[in-house]
Amino acid sequence: MTQLTHLDTERLVLRASDPALASAAAAFYRRTRAAHARWNPPQADAMCTVDGQRERLAQTAQAVAAGVSAGWWLFLRGDDGTAIGQTHLSQIARGVFCNAMLGYAIDPAHEGRGLMREALQAVLADAFGRLGLHRVQANVLPENTRSLALLDRLGFEREGLAREYLFIDGAWRDHVLTALRAPDWPANRAPPT
């Protein structure tokens, strides 16, 4: 499968996870760590360092090469230095599951402008096109109404509630389970072998 270096949208360039983005990634996590703490599991301090990000992005690049992950960093068109968000597909499974887990985050300074929706539309088109996935899941804290509204707008369906799903902000937190299926995949079409 061909690996992409970027995805372009009207206002964004999504750059594939690469150790060369370590400085921009570390700066993103330093800027957003406190604001995102209520939504994410605890982060190691290395997430906010260039060396820590270089190592993490190298691991991500290996996972992408192995076909089990796809990661993207969001940059406004014309600004190659400041990452304003990230999104990733992890736990990519093939065979009869043909599924991935979606994660995403945006700098609070850029919330409410439709940028994450724009980015996720491109990522989902890639997931259902080039990556050949049947289904993408995203799990969200029930109180994260902005994120749930975004998933609703993208067509994700709510499938249930996972009790005490992840340890976040000092306690085990429930998550709303959502998923989006490939729109053009007939129910009787088998997965690729």
Q: Which CATH class is domain 6-133?
A: alpha beta
Global pTM reads: 0.93
Local structure of 159: helix, strand or coil: strand
Domain ranges of the chain: 6-133
Who contacts 15 (Cβ-Cβ below 8 Å, separation ≥6)? 5, 6, 21, 72, 73, 75
Amino acid at 48: C
Rounded Cα gap, residues 54 and 123, in angstroms: 23
CB-based burial, 56-75: b 16+ in 10 Å, e otherwise: bbeebbebbeeeebbbbbbb
**How confident is the prediction along the chain (193 residues), in pLDDT tens digits per residue?**
678 899 999 999 999 999 999 999 999 999 999 888 788 887 888 888 999 999 999 999 999 999 999 999 999 999 878 999 999 999 999 999 999 999 999 999 999 999 999 999 999 999 999 999 999 999 999 999 999 999 999 999 999 999 999 999 899 999 999 999 998 888 888 888 7
CB 180 within 8 A of CB 135: yes
Rg over alpha carbons for the chain, rounded to the nearest Å, is 16
Rounded Cα gap, residues 184 and 9, in angstroms: 22
